[in-house]
Amino acid sequence: MIDKSVKKNKRQRIQRTLASLMLFNILCFSAAPAVSLAAPNMLATADTTKATEDKASTNNAKPDKVPSIDQLNLDVSSAVLIEPSTGQVLLSINADEALPPASMTKMMTEYIVAEKVKQGELAWDDVVTVGENAAKTVGSRIFLAEGDQHTVEELYIAMAVGSANDATVALAEHVAGSEAEFVTMMNDTAKKMGLKTAFFINSTGLSRADMPKKYRPEEDKETVMSAMDTALLAKYIVEDHPDFSRFTAIQSHKFRPRDTNPIINYNWMLEANKSITNFKSYAYEGLDGLKTGHTNAAGYCFAGTAERDGMRLISVVMGTKSEGARFKETKKVLDYGFDNFEVKEVQAAGATVQGFETVEVKKGKGKEAALVTDKALTFVVPKGSSGKNITFEAKVDSSSMTAPVAKDTKVGTVTYTYKIEGMKEAQTETVNLITAEEVEKAGWFKLFLRAIGDFFADLFDSIKNLF
């Protein structure tokens, strides 16, 4: 009898509670019909990394690994190979050590001058008057005399094709007023680019002892730049100035009409050299730049870039033993890249992410909005690979998702990671998660009915748990 009485009292209390809460709910919605009783969403994150679905056929796919670079037997102080559109490092040998870059230094001078033209602060047909410093500069040169006048473009070609030190200094002084001020610009630009080791003392790459005494910096330092920083500088050139090859691919150039011989490009690997007797053994398909370098301290160096089948690669070799060796070693590096890798879109823009297909929207006509990625996912993969072993981590913040919500609203991010066996660094790419559709705000009556439904659903769940 006691047990039955207790149960009866419990049911009566629940019934009274239900009636009171229903009345309270109706009164609340009558006073404020647009208020939702739904609990606010918190930050949703993928606590564990999830593997993406590999929909490509793997029957004939190569494994996600590439041959070891040890088989190349590179005879260099350092070397690096990158794919510029993704920034992926494909080969690295002592690539972060700061070394003398010799005339590869001129790539920074080339970049700054081209930027000034691009920004309208300088014009290719501007006339430059040669000063004392440029006229006294030694090494590779076109024998400028103090007071000579040439256009920016004429001097730029002499610098890019013939590595002319005097032309380089003349340009630096024209841009900044003095070579010392231009060097400040070079070092500031290196910092902005994120070059970790680059430090310049002049615009040319000459050793300090080879500079005219009057114009040497007081501090006893030398220009240094790692192979990695050199490759990154080259990346800025090819991406910010895609017309770079109109200068770097010139085979020869007659600087003055009266000159007996033209300037010959120090870059023997130019594809156009395949018909030149002395250079055809070095000519490389698709190669159109960038810069050679040599000093006693640096050895023979070369920053090269080539494009094949829509993929561009940038290679840097430093400290080789001869003029021809720098090109032979570069061929090994570039062949390794073109033979083993390709750039592949592994996921199109507008893709859904497993586990994050939708996001809850408060006060909307629909309770959810579909989510998709805002751009395509591209990685460098081994040739023939489907791009396996891709993992991801997604983060979605739906706390502010209250209707109306516009299409393409950013809701979160997805970071994809792809590892190739045998390579030191994994590739990562972060894309945004955006709404694939517009969600209009619901009317107050629809919100009212939805809240009542949610309310009763929660109550009945609570009652079921009591019995």
Set 78, 106, 235, 332: catalytic member:
106
HEC string of 296-365 equals CCCEEEEEEEEEECCEEEEEEEEEECCHHHHHHHHHHHHHHHHHHEEEEEEECCCCCCCCCCEEECECEC
Asked about 163 being catalytic, the answer comes back as yes
Set 92, 163, 207, 398: catalytic member:
163
For residue 189, give both structure tokens: 């630009």
d(CA 409, CA 374): 10
List the beta strands (DSSP E) in 162-310.
Answer: 252-253, 263-264, 287-295, 299-308
d(CA 331, CA 315): 9
197 by DSSP, 3-state: which? coil
d(CA 467, CA 446): 32
For residue 228, give both structure tokens: 């990695």
Closest by CA to 351, choosing from 384, 392, 310, 389, is 392
Asked about 20 being catalytic, the answer comes back as no
CB contact at 8 A, 293 and 101: yes
Set 103, 140, 203, 398: catalytic member:
103
Q: Which residue has the tokens 């929207």?
A: 361
d(CA 63, CA 58): 9
Peptide bond into 449 cis (omega under 30): no
d(CA 230, CA 234): 6
Cα-Cα end-to-end distance for the chain = 18
Paired strand residues for 392 = 50, 416
Task: Tell me the C-alpha to C-alpha distance, in Å, between residue 98 and each of 40, 72, 77, 109, 214.
Answer: 53, 23, 11, 19, 27
Closest by CA to 248, choosing from 159, 164, 166, 325, is 159
Closest by CA to 306, choosing from 324, 289, 327, is 289
Asked about 103 being catalytic, the answer comes back as yes
Q: Which residues does the annotation mark as catalytic?
A: 103, 106, 163
